[in-house]
Structure 1
């Protein structure tokens, strides 16, 4: 049985928690990938270039618990989306600044990601 994942309500998202979550290069890379690919469905294999499944689960949990991303179970997979509206409402312009700065984070080369910009959606996580 899957337990519901904790996500803070929009009004509970705190700037210190968000800044702490974004204070890691791997988590910034995850945000950059989500932003660059229009929150498109991707396989976790693309994220595995950033670390092991265990490490990525930890980083995704930190982003989720801070209110930066939404994680929705879909069978054995997890769909990741940036909480753009919630973050923009709480901290106007903040996410856009983070996305711009995260764009300077060196991401691993992945030819699949070049095709990802074509179709928006959610990001698949297994």
Structure 2
């Protein structure tokens, strides 16, 4: 049976933690990409194609979850992440739009993913 991993409640999502989390280019890019997808889309961390080790990806996505930006479901043999879009928009209106705008300005998802470790 799938298990939802622990995450902060909507009213516990802290702006300073979110800003600290998004200061990392990989995490900021992951959130921007998720924000461009249909609501409730699930992705595993490897599916983004970031040129880093799987252990690093696992860490980055754990940080995103603990900040309240994503939900993660453990299916036993894999974990899937989805953006907490409604919660983020309720707490910080316009934040996701700014991240998507930055992603588009920087050349889109493919370019951002390829350049994330060079920033």
TM bucket (normalised to shorter chain) is 0.7 to 0.9
Q: Which is further off, 36-45 or 55-64?
A: 36-45
- Pairwise CA RMSD of aligned residues? 2.6
* Separation of aligned partners in 2, 1:52 and 1:73: 20
Q: 2:16 maps to what in 1?
A: 16
When normalised by structure 2's length, the TM-score is 0.75
Q: CA deviation at 1:67?
A: 0.5
> In structure 2, the residue corresponding to 1:70 is in which secondary structure?
strand
Q: CA deviation at 1:92?
A: 1.3
Q: 2:85 maps to what in 1?
A: 84
Unaligned runs of at least 5 residues, structure 2:
none
Count of residue correspondences: 108
When normalised by structure 1's length, the TM-score is 0.71
CA displacement 1:2-25 (0-9 Å, x = unmatched): 986220000000100100110001
